Structure 1
Amino acid sequence: MSTSSGSSSKPPADIGKTTARRFPLVHQLIHFADLRNFYREMREALISANRRAGAQQGLVTKAKNKIAQLQAEMTRLEQERDDLLSYRQRVEEEANQISAVLPRLKDRLLQVQQIEQALENLADIKEAVDQQERANGGPTSQSIQDLKLAVERLLERADAVEFFEESIEDAEADADSPTDRPDRGDG
């Protein structure tokens, strides 16, 4: 106990004995050390702030690049949409032209099929006439009449077919004057 009371019984240090006037160099060194610590902390804070600012600048640069990419993509998509719209418009125009010609084309196809049927009929009759000629030495008058009738039917079918170019011109004329279309009975 005497040791604890002995340390507490020491007289307090006299501040006047350690003043800056008495030890100016020591006080300046202490002050310099404090400044050095303060500047080191300031440098570390500045480095940390620069890192944060650099990271933020990197984020800003990434965001700007992403925005530029998205804008380029959007521009490309808008161009593609415009191309598709113009393509759609062209297709609709072509579909309208085709739809105007399609009924006539259907009629022409039917006429062509009738011509093919007439040709097959003519070929069958010609084959029969040839067989009669080989077998009997000549065709019968009925066979000749059948052959003439088949040729006449084929020619009638061929005359009934309109040329495709004429039907396109007719369709264009119908499209130019829609009031004439209901008056026409041949379609």
Structure 2
Amino acid sequence: MTANPTSDARIREGYAARATEYTELFGEIAQMDAVDREWIGRWADGVEGRILDAGCGPGHWTAFLAERGNEVEGIDLVPDFVATASARFPHVSYRVASLAESGTEPGSLGGILAWYSLIHAAPEELPALLAAARLALRDGGALLLGFFDGADGKPFAHAVTTAHFWSIGGMSGHLERAGFAVIDSEARVQEGRRPHASISAVAV
């Protein structure tokens, strides 16, 4: 998800070409790290109000939250993902949209989950996306980001299209400038995977 139509098209086309493969590899909650399931579940338990799963992909995290009792909707740039998610989890709401243009009433959300959905945003695009998240959230609303830990803004050749690393400090700075206060963060390195980081923040 980006604020740039050209970038949006690149991301949409890249994921559409690999939507089936991506869903097979990463589309089930059981395939997700247990630490992430615990972290996201605990975050959602503290959210008051509707949650937007921004960049929901094949819909597994949205369904995970819905099954825990959260009011949640998934959005994604990729129509293939939205169609797949809707077929797999017909009890959950999904639609084609981006964080930059979510169609959400300002201040109406209690939480936004952006789990690895901002990784393809170029450094100059990230502030607009975080500003869009802040606009959609009510005061005190919660944001949870997952991303690749590394040198701030450094690009790398992701399997789908170019992605970027961020450090916890660098991403925290962007969040604070967008109107958030960082509440918690975590990072880890696991063999065979790129370093992971996530940040929990609230709209202030």
TM-score with structure 2 length normalisation? 0.17
Give the helix-richer structure, 1 or 2. 1
Choose between structure 1 and 2: higher strand proportion: 2
Decide which structure has the larger Cα Rg and report it. 1
Length-normalised TM-score, structure 1: 0.19
